[in-house]
Amino acid sequence: MASIENLIETVEAVAPDAQIHTFLSSLQAHGAVPVIDGKKIIGMVFVDDVSRREYPVTSKASTAMTRVSSIDAKSDVVEAAAALMRLRGRALPVTSAGSYVGIVAETAVMRAVSGVNKRVEEVMNEPVTITDDANVGKARSTLRDQGIGKLPVVNRNGDLVGVVDWQNFVVLEKPKESMGRRDQRGDYLQDSKIDVTAVMDESPLTVERGTSVVDAAKKMDSRKCTYAIVVDGKAPVGIITCEDILELLAALVPREGVYVQITGAEDLDSFDRDKLHSNVDETVRKLARIYAGIEYFVLRLKKHETQGSKTKFSVQARLMTPVGVFRAHAHGYDLAAVTDKAMDNLERIVKEDHSKKKKQMRKRSERAQKRR
């Protein structure tokens, strides 16, 4: 497998005390900027975090950054894909002989996608949409409440007219003292005065549902885009993201058993982390008895807004099998309960599908016998 040396992008790093407005243009251009203290890489500032967490542009890089591990320039693309998945996509700082040399972005890693014989409709996610008469406040709250990163905008006929994500809101961020009052949900009242059409991307990348994943990845790379809206005619029917493609790429490594990837659990204590892994292992064993040849299982854990001492969690599970992809999700404030619910939902969906297929096979067999 090829190394990532030819995929490295040169991005100037910033100091921990650098204010966001001083590197905002670089952040918008590259999606991520490394933070270096002396010669040590201590984190990355991601453009979607700046908007999602509503950091004022006067905030310091050390406040907005996410702590990440670097990857060596001689690492192969599968290692990079797995590392990016642990970070939930985006980008990683790259080092050579211990020194920072640039970043490798998820879009760049997609260039190495090959040998994936799947169509986008097999791996796409069901879209959550918003109408073009909604305001920015509605778009923000939908993205936050649904735990998603992309929000297709449709007209009254259900046709795709644009897409909005957290990066679209960066241009609206100002010093906190000038942002104005908030409503009961904590959203800025000014957002209700701005139409979503004023900030959305009016020319989103689209692919047909029958497009191969490899071709979709090439289109996403050529546009430097982290997603593609899957359409049927003019209507959005799904979304495929870099993260989805990274899952497929990371699962290409030859291994015994089912490829299992859990992201977002790095900050959990050892008890919660072990319990989460145990729950996942038990679920995978159950599902493997229903459908042999499971290709991979991915669980994405995300933390959302905090209310007092409580943190809201969302769990998204994806199971790739020879008969298709199964997805389930759950959210709430009790991590154990949320995980149990997501696993139960996934098991129920798989069992229902298996039962449906058995009935279809039985009916076909009965019809065949009648024709004899």
Residue 169 pLDDT: 77
- Find the DSSP H helices in 291-334: none
Residue 11 pLDDT: 92
- Average pLDDT for residues 3-22, to the nearest whole number? 91
Are residue 229 and residue 271 in the same domain, yes or no? no
Residue 305 pLDDT: 62
191-214: burial string, b at 16+ Cβ within 10 Å, e else: beebebbebbeeebbbbeeebbbb
Return the closest-CA partner of residue 139 out of 180, 200, 184: 200
Confidence at 259, pLDDT banded by 50, 70, 90: confident
Are residue 124 and residue 233 in the same domain, yes or no? yes
Residue 261 pLDDT: 80
CA distances from 353 to 123, 256, 287, 289 (A): 17, 26, 12, 14
Question: 227 near 241, Cβ under 8 Å?
Answer: yes
Residue 295 pLDDT: 80
User: Residue 371: inside a domain, yes or no?
Assistant: no
For residue 174, give the CATH number of its domain: 3.10.580.10
User: Residue 250: inside a domain, yes or no?
Assistant: no
For residue 289, give the CATH number of its domain: 3.30.160.100
Question: Residue 88: left if φ>0, alpha if ψ -120 to 50, beta else—which one?
Answer: left
Q: How many structural domains compose the chain?
A: 3
Residue 236 pLDDT: 95
Are residue 69 and residue 98 in the same domain, yes or no? yes
Which of 188, 222, 245 is a domain's end point?
Answer: 245
User: Residue 133: inside a domain, yes or no?
Assistant: yes
CA 280, CA 80: separation in Å to the nearest integer? Answer: 23
**Exposed, middle or buried by CB within 10 Å (0-12, 13-18, 19+), for 153?**
buried
Residue 214 pLDDT: 87
Range name among 8-12, 51-55, 294-298 with the lowest pLDDT average: 51-55
List pLDDT tens digits, range 302-341. Answer: 877 665 667 888 888 988 888 888 888 888 888 889 999 9
Q: Other C-beta atoms within 10 Å of 346: how many?
A: 26
- Average pLDDT for residues 135-141, to the nearest whole number? 88
- Global pTM reads 0.65
Reduced to 3 states (helix: H, G, I; strand: E, B; else coil), residue 28 is helix
CB-hemisphere CA count at 13 Å for 132?
A: 15
- Average pLDDT for residues 225-239, to the nearest whole number? 92
Which of 245, 278, 312 is a domain's end point?
Answer: 245
Are residue 129 and residue 106 in the same domain, yes or no? no
Residue 270 pLDDT: 83
List pLDDT tens digits, range 180-219. Answer: 444 444 444 456 678 899 889 999 999 999 999 889 988 9
Q: Which helix (H) or strand (E) holds 364?
A: helix 335-371
Residue 205 pLDDT: 94
- Average pLDDT for residues 166-181, to the nearest whole number? 56
Are residue 237 and residue 150 in the same domain, yes or no? yes
Are residue 266 and residue 160 in the same domain, yes or no? no
Mean of pLDDT over the chain: 83
User: Residue 31: inside a domain, yes or no?
Assistant: yes
Strands 91-96 and 99-105: antiparallel
Which of 56, 90, 112 is a domain's end point?
Answer: 112
- Average pLDDT for residues 228-232, to the nearest whole number? 95
User: Residue 196: inside a domain, yes or no?
Assistant: yes
Confidence at 50, pLDDT banded by 50, 70, 90: confident
pLDDT at 176 over 60: no
Are residue 144 and residue 207 in the same domain, yes or no? yes
pLDDT at 15 over 90: yes
Are residue 13 and residue 97 in the same domain, yes or no? yes
User: Residue 372: inside a domain, yes or no?
Assistant: no
Are residue 198 and residue 296 in the same domain, yes or no? no
Question: 57 near 25, Cβ under 8 Å?
Answer: no
pLDDT at 274 over 60: yes
User: Residue 187: inside a domain, yes or no?
Assistant: yes
- Average pLDDT for residues 170-183, to the nearest whole number? 47
DSSP line for 167-216:
GGGGGG---GGGS--B-TTS-BGGGGGSBGGGTSBSS--EEETTSBHHHH
CA 14, CA 61: separation in Å to the nearest integer? Answer: 8
Are residue 128 and residue 235 in the same domain, yes or no? yes
Residue 52 neighbours by CB under 8 Å, 6+ apart: 143, 144, 166
Are residue 96 and residue 166 in the same domain, yes or no? no
Are residue 193 and residue 286 in the same domain, yes or no? no
**Structural domain range at position 207:** 120-245
Confidence at 41, pLDDT banded by 50, 70, 90: very high
User: Residue 39: inside a domain, yes or no?
Assistant: yes
